[in-house]
Amino acid sequence: YRMINWMKAKKKDKTQDLIQVLAPCDGTVLPLGESQDEMFRSGLLGHGCFIYPKSKKIFAPVSGVVKSAFPTGHALGIVSEEGVELLLHFGIDTVNLNGRFMHTTVSAGDLIEAGDKLAEIDFPMIKKAGYAPDVYVIILNSESYQIKIREQDCESGQTVMTLARK
């Protein structure tokens, strides 16, 4: 009896096929079409969203492994347990700051859990230096997913994207 109920629940619950991507920081979720950066706006790297940040701490949007941590601290590449390839990018053209105002706390190869602290970014100083502080959450292999974005004010840890395999 218990096994039959479990199987029914398994068939009925389609949410198991959905992958939740959490907000890496507090802020306002915006569509890529509103980005000041043509590369992100065009979706060239993949689909996703960006967050106008209201906090300095960056947290893992998914559980998985850090695939790349740029020495300049401006971006992190993550592969989720489900195989979603994400790019977290802090600011526009902030690679030019050469690590100033950005401190990542993870390295390539690190295993992470959703919600783990990944970085601390001094967004007020980035703005003062003349750069947009936008935090990009890009699904690099977005052709494999249907992506639903929740445009809203968010706190880190809230779902901002739901992905379903195509």
What is the distance in angstroms between the CA of the first residue and the CA of the last residue of the chain?
Answer: 33
Task: Name 83's bridge partners.
Answer: none
Radius of gyration (C-alpha) of the chain in whole angstroms: 17
Q: Is 74 a catalytic residue?
A: no
| Residue 45 burial class via C-beta count within 10 angstroms: exposed 0-12, middle 13-18, buried 19 and up | middle
Check if the beta carbon of residue 92 is closer than 8 Å to that of residue 53.
no
Buried b (16+ CB within 10 A) or exposed e, 78-106: bbbeeebbbbbbbbbebbebeeebbebeb
Q: Which residue out of 47, 74, 89, 103 is catalytically annotated?
A: 89
Dihedral of CA atoms 96, 102, 103, 104 in degrees, nearest 10, equals -70
**Catalytic positions, written as ranges:** 89
